[in-house]
Structure 1
Amino acid sequence: MTSSTDLAALLCSRLCHDMLSPIGALNNGLELLSAETDPEMRKRCLELLEQSAQISADKLKFFRLAYGAAGGFGEAVPVEEPRLLIEGLVAGNERLKLEWAVAEETLAKPVVKVLLNLAAIGIDTLIRGGTLAIGAEKRDGATEIAIRAAGPRIAFDANIGKALDGLLDEADLSGRTAPAHLIRLLAAECGGGVQYALTDEALIMGAILPDG
């Protein structure tokens, strides 16, 4: 069984992988700025630096709640928080559209973590853009999450599906599949479960997490 230390290391690996691009862009932008004398080009460099800094900040805020203990260990999180975090990720890609259908005012922290990580998987599959639709509601003593990623091309790693199903050999876990493994663990700890369906047009993922 994967230890909490091993899982934390894999999630850190994923975080570092996702942060490499925007931070690398910051470094490149600073190098260009130091060598550039043309006012218009310097202005353009500063705009790119600002954009890369915003992307970096958005990703760090997202990972802080999706993987970590953001906000302490309270039971409930205002739904505005995960919505803004997902909007931050989507905002960096003009080909992505977010549809948000969560009427609840708050969600339990494990529910929010599952929702965020499922949303990140959905975003990753939309390599040519598309629509990410997110819904969640409390009903009959449980919270139900539904996420649909639809676009012209769906790129879904089969090992992520195996991790969601609990069928991936733990020796094969990686930074790419660790979030799916985390989702399954969080759902199981709540006495719930996760499922998904893949078609040529969309990836549909759902989770049910009983209250308490």
Structure 2
Amino acid sequence: MSDTELDLAALLCSRLCHDLLSPVGAMNNGLELLADEHDPEMRKRCMDLLAESAKSAADKLKFFRLAFGAAGGFGSEVDPMEAKAVIEPLVTGDGRTALHWGVPAGLMPKKAVKVLLNLVLIAKDALVRGGELHVGAEGRENEQEIVIRATGPRIIMDQSVRDALTGALTESQIDSRTAAAWMVRGLCASNGGLVQIAAPDETQIVIGAIVR
């Protein structure tokens, strides 16, 4: 493994830890409150907090295992319904964002699934006030076309994330915020694929990728 690959793995781990810090910290706080609380109603609220935080942590771990890791074993293809199963809680869990799934049944190359998952993560982060997230994919001979469209009252995408997707950042400029976008571009570019992103828009973002 090259130094660049090791650096990318470290940055992806940093992203994972950052996203898990909130639910795990909430569980720790809930346990501390539970230890000192004797009122039945308050204890119930503490238990509800623990259950909610545990589910959030589990949902994120399942997502990142497939998006960053080797979920599905060492086979070259993944059932897209497995991807939907980890995407749905992450997207709809806060009750502010609706998911519209337009990926046909049938196995997809694992690389394409990773691209799809990470583009969903990027688009979800841009929906700062919630909205709708449309996920589509189409298989063609020797390639997969993926389109992610996010709409909402306000879209904010960090320019550095946009630059990582388009290749405008150098390796030395990549950090934990842009590592997923950098990985997407690398996965697409490895066999002559590409990533395209529409011009900035306050209420809509469209990202397309071709994976070969």
Once residues 71 and 40 of structure 1 are traced to their aligned partners in structure 2, the CA distance between those partners, rounded to angstroms, is 42
Aligned equivalents of 1:103, 1:72: Cα separation in 2: 22
Determine the C-alpha separation between the residues in 1 that align with 2:18 and 2:29: 17
Answer whether contact 2:92 2:99 (CA < 8 A) is retained. no
Distance between the aligned counterparts of 1:2 and 1:183, measured in 2?
18
Question: For the residues of structure 2 that align with 1:24 and 1:119, how far apart are their CA atoms?
Answer: 25
Contact residue 79 and residue 107 of structure 1 kept, 8 A: yes
Question: Superposed, which structure 2 residues align to 1:56-205 within 5 Å?
Answer: 56-197=57-198, 198-205=200-207
Unaligned runs of 5+ in 2: none
Matched residue, 1:206 = 208
Distance 1:69 1:95 in 2: 30
- CA apart distance, 1:123: 0.5
Segments of 5+ residues of structure 1 without an aligned counterpart are: none
Change (3 A) 1:181 1:2: farther
CA distance in 2, matches of 1:23, 1:94: 20
d(CA) in 2 for partners of 1:200, 1:44: 38
**Cα drift, residue 41 of structure 1:** 1.2
Q: Cα distance, 1:88 vs. partner? A: 1.5
TM-score normalised to structure 2 length:
0.96
Q: What CA distance in whole angstroms lies between the structure 1 residues aligned with 2:193 and 2:38?
A: 59
Q: AA paired with 2:105?
A: E
Residue 91 of structure 1, CA deviation:
3.0
Runs of 4+ in 1 over 3 A off after TM superposition: none
Q: Indicate the SS of the match to 2:144.
A: strand
Any idea what the Cα deviations from partners look like across 1:75-126, whole Å, max 9, x if unmatched? 1101111101110202321111100001132111000000000000010001
The aligned length equals 210
User: Does the residue aligned with 1:128 lie in a helix, a strand or coil?
Assistant: coil
**1:123 aligned counterpart, secondary structure:** helix
Correspondence 1:13-24 to 2 at 5 A: 13-24=14-25
- Identity level (%): 55
Alpha-carbon shift at residue 54 of structure 1 (Å): 0.5
Q: Work out the CA distance in 2 between the residues paired with 1:177 and 1:143.
A: 23
Backbone CA RMSD of aligned residues: 1.2
Q: TM-score, normalization: structure 1?
A: 0.96
8 Å CA contact 2:156, 2:202 repeated in 1: no
Indicate the SS of the match to 1:184.
Answer: helix
40-49 or 52-61, larger mean C-alpha shift:
40-49
Counterpart Cα distance in 1 of 2:136 and 2:168: 26
- Counterpart of 2:154 in 1: which secondary structure? coil
Aligned equivalents of 1:142, 1:71: Cα separation in 2? 20
CA contact (8 A) 1:2 1:170 kept: no
State the secondary structure of the residue aligned to 1:3.
Answer: helix
Within 1, Cα distance between the matches of 2:173 and 2:143?
A: 32
In 2, the alpha carbon distance for the partners of 1:133 and 1:105 equals: 19
Cα distance in 2 for partners of 1:4, 1:71 equals 21
Distance 1:144 1:104 in 2: 15
